[in-house]
Amino acid sequence: MTRTDDTARQTLLRRGLALEYATLGWNVIGIVVLALAAISARSVALAGFGLDSLIEIGASTVVIWELSGTGEDRRRRALRLIGFGFGLLAVYLLVQSTWVLATGFRPHRSPLGIGWTAVTAAVMFVLAAGKTRTGTALDNPVLKTEGRVTLIDGLLAAAVLLGLVLNALAGLWWADPAAGYVLVHYALREVKEIFFGEH
């Protein structure tokens, strides 16, 4: 590896770490905001999105740990940890969506929840794109996989946002849990890719 290649790699590593720290910081703040919004609106969806933020914090921490070291064994362990995060997310979404639909639970309107999920969706899509580009340039499957975690976080934010808006404007309380089932599919697909795909 030439000095130019090493410099470019170090620049990419710094960019990857910056993206992960940005994700980590956003989600730490998000847990507080979502807790306040969920309590005031009695919203299972917002509480669940807080859990998703917690999983994203775990995934970012794993990637920061992986980027700070080297070795195939470290990389495999990091991928497995992210895979478990996807699995937890899929189980949570399945249980929450089924419970909300079965009980007919109706949350209150949540302007704070609508505002936060709208901004979060945009931020997560930008971060996911950056992680994917950086992970591809580094040929780092852990960073690319975590980019997909961040993309799913953005999709979940958009689904929760849609449910909150439909509930607020049209009283369609079931829209949010119905969207959760779509995301279960994406999360399970990532679990399958991580544990059974070729890296």
DSSP letters of 47-89? HHHHHHHHHHHHHHHHHHHHHTS--HHHHHHHHHHHHHHHHHH
The token duo for 49 is 């999105």
198 burial class (0-12, 13-18, 19+ CB within 10 angstroms)?
exposed
The alpha carbons of the chain give a radius of gyration, in whole angstroms, of 18
Q: Rounded to an integer, what distance in angstroms lies between the CA atom of residue 7 and that of residue 151? A: 29
pTM confidence score: 0.83
Q: What is the mean pLDDT of residues 141-153?
A: 88
Q: Which residues of 3-22 are buried (b: 16+ CB within 10 A; e: fewer)?
A: eeeeeeeeebbebbbebbee
Q: What is the mean pLDDT of residues 21-45?
A: 93
More confident residue, 82 or 1: 82
More confident residue, 141 or 180: 141
71 burial class (0-12, 13-18, 19+ CB within 10 angstroms)?
exposed
